[in-house]
Structure 1
Amino acid sequence: MNKKVLIKLENRQDYVGEQAATNIKSEFKGELYIKKEKYYLSYNDHSEGLDGARTILKIDPKTERVLLLREEPAEMKQTFKKAQKIKGYFKTAYGKLELAVKTSHLKIDIEDSNGIIKIEYQLFLGGELSSQHKLKLSYTIL
């Protein structure tokens, strides 16, 4: 059974070599559904450059793992699991960009009616540290 949700996203990005951090705050209306003890959040991301790309977060509280999948036109796959460096990709108009994330902190506090996911991670591009992120994603049933 799908439930309509309001999703709030906050992301602090600290880029290597830059003085000021970038803070992003967004809200999306989406859906929550549960399948085989995993939670799925689905929404269309209208952030700059994403043109409404469908985004799905697969949240597995048992294994403490979060998978982010985004469809065209800004296709992306990224997995977060504490203390692990995991390869992913981001597809641009210029081709596929290989990346990796190393998750230093992952907290999943979710229920059927609301939830919060906090992720702190380092983003590597071409094997080099590019940025550090603090991501907070929350949802509530509408």
Structure 2
Amino acid sequence: MEEEVIIKITGRQEFIHNGEKDKIEQVVTGRLFLKNDKYYLIYNDNSPGVDGAEAKLRIDLKAEQLLLMRDDPAPLKQKFIEGEITDGYYGRVEQKFDISVDTEKISLQADMNSGEINVDYCLYFNRELTSENKLSIRYRTDN
């Protein structure tokens, strides 16, 4: 069964090379469903430069893992596992860059009515530390 949900996404990052800080907030509607004991959250990402690309979150409560995938024009793959460094990619204008995510802390709460995801992680481009990040995603059914 699929539910329509309202999703609030907040991202904060501090860039290592210059200390600049950036914050992105968006509220979107999306779809939520459960498949093979994992929750899937699908929405159109309206972050700057992403042009509403479809994003998919796979929330695995048992394994305490989060997978974020995004389609063109800015493809992205990030996998978050606390205490682990995972490889992924980030794309822009027909180029893909290798990235790695070092997940320092992850908190996942999800059901078919509401959920909250919080991740603290470091982002590496080409094996070089680029930024320290905090991602918060909250969703609830639209009824």
TM-score tier, shorter chain, comes to over 0.9
Deviation at 1:94, TM superposition (A): 4.7
Q: Deviations over 1:48-94 (max 9, x none)?
A: 11111000000000000000011111111110000000000011115
Give TM-score, length-normalised by structure 2: 0.96
How many residue pairs get aligned? The number is 142
Gaps of 5+ in 2: none
Aligned counterparts of 1:46 and 1:20: Cα–Cα separation in 2: 22
Aligned counterparts of 1:93 and 1:70: Cα–Cα separation in 2: 14
The reply on whether 1:60 has 2:49 as its aligned counterpart is no
Provide the residue aligned with 1:82 in structure 2. Answer: 82
Deviation at 1:20, TM superposition (A): 3.7
Aligned counterparts of 2:68 and 2:35: Cα–Cα separation in 1: 16
Aligned counterparts of 2:52 and 2:24: Cα–Cα separation in 1: 17
Provide the residue aligned with 1:98 in structure 2. Answer: 98
Gaps of 5+ in 1: none
Question: Which runs of 4 or more aligned residues in structure 1 lie more than 3 Å from their structure 2 counterparts after TM superposition?
Answer: none
Quick check: 2:24–2:47 contact (8 Å CA) kept in 1? no
Provide the residue aligned with 1:133 in structure 2. Answer: 133
Equivalent AA in structure 2 for residue 64 of structure 1? E
Give the alignment's Cα RMSD to 1 decimal: 0.9
- Name whichever of 128-137 and 93-102 sits farther off: 93-102
